[in-house]
Chains A and B, each alone.
Chain A
């Protein structure tokens, strides 16, 4: 196609200087000299949180995107250094509150790693159920955000309606709709009765039935397919190169899941598949997560069917089976031996890394390192935007389920 250019001298707009953008002045000048311009998307965002994207466009086509994250940085790593080990549990859940159990689990596993705690089987199954419930909740949340980006309001309401069942399951198990702080070093805070587990078992079928409505109206909607198909493609090589994680890596054809590679909790005892897709476009990223919801439901059902009896808290922590009334005595004085303890956990959006550095004396971590999946796949997200149209930015944003509070921590 022949390019038609009109030579009009363009001055970089003055407002770009006053906005404290993380780009040098020369870059702005170069952009405007090349007949391109910069568009700022954000930091007020129509979707999931605050982040600024500095989009360099030529006409309608994106040339480069520079992210400006950090608007919701809450210094979680620094705050963690001033709190007791157990007090950090509600803190580390905060980056992504709908994914709280997975983030909680990663941190607690790091502590257990350091203290050499043996977790009872029943607690492991309960933790798996919690983690998978949160995974479904997060995937539904991301689907809702994606559909609101595409202007499909029904697609927004349905997942949030279905998520109500997840919240109800969590409130029945833990007493809180999310950020349950239920997983503690050595087990879980209390036992869950059979009636509640049975309720969750039937809820999985109700969720499946409602998801079929969602599938007809949104997932298999021709307009949605048209918006997402062949948009924001990341090839297998690129995805590995840019360090994409989680379902977004699997959508590019890489069969990698921490739950299979280094199984923790009860994942090696239940039967489930890694969901992969080959295309690496926005639609396959979405489809992988949709199918992961089905896998998660399968895991939950197996866990509830096969859950063993026994204690839910380790003998090393508590003699009884109930931490209530003794929470302070048993857990406030945790001191980890000197060393570095790292765990890798598969959260809903990808692998989350926790590293606790302990000096062996104090009852607070010397250093807590949290690397959330959002931060890891930000690079891949930015690369996949190149060469797409500006109107596709929202679709790709939604397909990655990028959640700034999680990435900024």
Chain B
């Protein structure tokens, strides 16, 4: 019986070992760990450690769980909430979060807030549809996190697919449905108005967004991120600046950032669909927009900024691609975070007019540019 189990583990191990990350930098560290472990007189310990390391360094798992997947996403969330507040404060002649660990200039403020949300009572009010109200914030994570499995970073990829870009766009388009459902389950006036506004905004940005992405697919003649990145010896932003602009604005609209912060307008409808949430549930719905922004920025980096192309450091080996992708993504998001302190909120009709008039027109022109460049076979 035990032999069968060990055989099974060996079989798994051989699968894992066949697709390991190749990082010259950590090879001596692994060797050192294995040497130390071998000296500890516990049976099977060295095999166990070997197995754990093999699991972590297994490429698909590494892509989804570590980089650019969940671990980086969590660190990014802590970083962006702090960074956005700090940057806004800087532009506004203030200091921003400072007192939660002063020597770090308030860098763990977001962590402190997260812990507070965790221990706060999550109130479910009487009128809410209780099952949906509680489970929707968690369900909302599915369309947000699934694209991460498809977005590759060099050799590090969860599920390799030639249609990764299209799939990501499809999943991103699913996110507003959960937000609308959250507003419906909250069963409050503000939440209801907020979800209606979210639906209207969805109509406004979705078409230009998809058309801009399709124009890039035409341009590269493929939806496969590998081909897209390979072809980008000139970044896509220069090849098709109109698509770049449309995608950027659609990104602001989709994540309800400030000129288009219409579904959550604080002064008008008091945080819209999320008005009734509290405690950890609020923490979950609050980071939803940030996670959506992360996924969209990953796509944005791949389509327009050359994906994981960067200076190759041989010491990092396979880790080069995920690191470059993450750095580019976070730089993009950090620049987008600045928009919050620059613009006032548009009215909903103005936002929809922007979406349907020149944003749509620009995306059509971008599509034409994409088709022309793709047809000529310029790259």
- Tell me if chain B binds chain A: yes
Chain A residues near B (Cβ < 8 Å): 46-47, 147-155, 157-158, 161, 217-218, 221, 223-224, 226-227, 389, 391-392, 394
- Residue from the list A147, A153, A224, A391 in contact with B88, Cβ < 8 A: A153
Chain B residues with CB below 8 A from A47, complex form: 267
* CB of A19 to closest CB in B, whole Å: 15
> A150 to B268, alpha carbons, bound, how many Å?
9
Q: Is the Cβ of B265 less than 8 Å from the Cβ of A227?
A: no
> A332 to B47, alpha carbons, bound, how many Å?
95
Known: A151-B261, A153-B341, A158-B92. A46 touches B346 (CB 8 A): no
Contact with A along B47-79 (1 / 0, CB 8 A): 000000000000000000000000000000000
- Residue from the list B88, B94, B345, B348 in contact with A151, Cβ < 8 A: B345
Q: List 21 A-B contacts (CB under 8 A).
A: A149-B267, A150-B267, A150-B344, A151-B261, A152-B344, A153-B88, A153-B341, A154-B92, A155-B344, A161-B92, A218-B344, A221-B342, A221-B343, A223-B343, A223-B344, A224-B344, A226-B346, A227-B344, A227-B347, A391-B348, A394-B268
Q: Is the Cβ of B345 less than 8 Å from the Cβ of A152?
A: yes
Interface residues in B167-181 (C-beta closer than 8 Å to A): none
Known: A221-B343, A223-B344, A389-B347. A151 touches B265 (CB 8 A): yes
- Residue from the list A46, A152, A389, A392 in contact with B343, Cβ < 8 A: A152
**B266 near A: Cβ within 8 Å?**
yes
A155, A223, A227, A394 — most chain B CB neighbours (10 Å): A223
Known: A217-B342, A224-B344, A392-B347. A151 touches B92 (CB 8 A): no
Which partner residue on chain B sits nearest A398 by CB separation?
A: B267
Q: Is the Cβ of B258 less than 8 Å from the Cβ of A151?
A: yes
Chain B residues with CB below 8 A from A217, complex form: 342
> A154 to B91, alpha carbons, bound, how many Å?
7
> A191 to B29, alpha carbons, bound, how many Å?
77
**B259 near A: Cβ within 8 Å?**
yes
Q: Is the Cβ of A227 less than 8 Å from the Cβ of B345?
A: yes
- Residue from the list A158, A161, A221, A389 in contact with B344, Cβ < 8 A: A221
Q: Is the Cβ of B342 less than 8 Å from the Cβ of A154?
A: yes
- Residue from the list A150, A158, A221, A389 in contact with B93, Cβ < 8 A: A158
**B14 near A: Cβ within 8 Å?**
no
Which partner residue on chain A sits nearest B345 by CB separation?
A: A151
Contact with A along B334-354 (1 / 0, CB 8 A): 000000111111111110000
Q: 12 other contacts beyond A47-B267, A151-B261, A154-B88, with CB at 8 A cut-off? A: A147-B344, A149-B267, A150-B267, A151-B265, A151-B344, A158-B92, A223-B343, A224-B344, A227-B350, A389-B349, A392-B347, A394-B267
Chain B residues with CB below 8 A from A154, complex form: 88, 91-92, 341-342
B88, B258, B344 — most chain A CB neighbours (10 Å): B344
Chain B residues near A (Cβ < 8 Å): 88, 91-94, 258-259, 261, 265-268, 340-350
- Residue from the list B341, B342, B350 in contact with A226, Cβ < 8 A: B350
Chain B residues with CB below 8 A from A392, complex form: 347
> A154 to B265, alpha carbons, bound, how many Å?
16
Chain B residues with CB below 8 A from A394, complex form: 267-268
Q: Is the Cβ of B92 less than 8 Å from the Cβ of A223?
A: no
> A298 to B284, alpha carbons, bound, how many Å?
53
Chain B residues with CB below 8 A from A227, complex form: 344-347, 350
> A219 to B88, alpha carbons, bound, how many Å?
18
Chain A residues with CB below 8 A from B349, complex form: 389
* CB of B191 to closest CB in A, whole Å: 16
Which partner residue on chain B sits nearest A390 by CB separation?
A: B268
> A153 to B341, alpha carbons, bound, how many Å?
6
Chain B residues with CB below 8 A from A221, complex form: 342-344
Which partner residue on chain A sits nearest B340 by CB separation?
A: A153
Known: A148-B267, A161-B93. A223 touches B88 (CB 8 A): no
Chain B residues with CB below 8 A from A224, complex form: 344
> A154 to B345, alpha carbons, bound, how many Å?
12
* CB of A268 to closest CB in B, whole Å: 38
> A155 to B259, alpha carbons, bound, how many Å?
14
Nearest 8 A/B pairs, CB to CB = A151-B345, A157-B92, A152-B344, A150-B344, A223-B344, A46-B267, A154-B341, A223-B343
> A359 to B258, alpha carbons, bound, how many Å?
59
> A226 to B345, alpha carbons, bound, how many Å?
10
* CB of B218 to closest CB in A, whole Å: 32
Chain A residues with CB below 8 A from B88, complex form: 153-154
- Residue from the list A148, A155, A391 in contact with B347, Cβ < 8 A: A391
> A391 to B197, alpha carbons, bound, how many Å?
12
- Residue from the list A150, A157, A389 in contact with B345, Cβ < 8 A: A150
> A394 to B88, alpha carbons, bound, how many Å?
23
Chain A residues with CB below 8 A from B267, complex form: 46-47, 148-151, 394
Which partner residue on chain A sits nearest B347 by CB separation?
A: A391
> A149 to B268, alpha carbons, bound, how many Å?
8
> A151 to B341, alpha carbons, bound, how many Å?
10
Chain A residues with CB below 8 A from B346, complex form: 223, 226-227
> A391 to B348, alpha carbons, bound, how many Å?
8
Chain A residues with CB below 8 A from B348, complex form: 391
Which partner residue on chain B sits nearest A397 by CB separation?
A: B267
> A46 to B346, alpha carbons, bound, how many Å?
18
Which partner residue on chain B sits nearest A395 by CB separation?
A: B347
Chain B residues with CB below 8 A from A158, complex form: 92-93
> A221 to B258, alpha carbons, bound, how many Å?
13
> A392 to B349, alpha carbons, bound, how many Å?
11
Q: Is the Cβ of A157 less than 8 Å from the Cβ of B93?
A: yes
> A218 to B341, alpha carbons, bound, how many Å?
10
> A284 to B92, alpha carbons, bound, how many Å?
25
* CB of B20 to closest CB in A, whole Å: 48
Which partner residue on chain A sits nearest B258 by CB separation?
A: A151
> A147 to B94, alpha carbons, bound, how many Å?
17
Chain A residues with CB below 8 A from B261, complex form: 151
A46, A47, A152, A217 — most chain B CB neighbours (10 Å): A152
Chain B residues with CB below 8 A from A223, complex form: 259, 343-346
* CB of B260 to closest CB in A, whole Å: 10
> A147 to B92, alpha carbons, bound, how many Å?
13
> A217 to B93, alpha carbons, bound, how many Å?
13
Which partner residue on chain A sits nearest B94 by CB separation?
A: A157
Chain A residues with CB below 8 A from B266, complex form: 46, 151
> A391 to B258, alpha carbons, bound, how many Å?
16
> A300 to B342, alpha carbons, bound, how many Å?
32
- Residue from the list B92, B268, B343, B344 in contact with A391, Cβ < 8 A: B268
> A223 to B344, alpha carbons, bound, how many Å?
6
Chain B residues with CB below 8 A from A161, complex form: 92-93
* CB of A42 to closest CB in B, whole Å: 12
> A47 to B266, alpha carbons, bound, how many Å?
11
* CB of A224 to closest CB in B, whole Å: 5
Chain A residues with CB below 8 A from B341, complex form: 153-154
Which partner residue on chain A sits nearest B265 by CB separation?
A: A151
Which partner residue on chain A sits nearest B264 by CB separation?
A: A151
* CB of B189 to closest CB in A, whole Å: 9
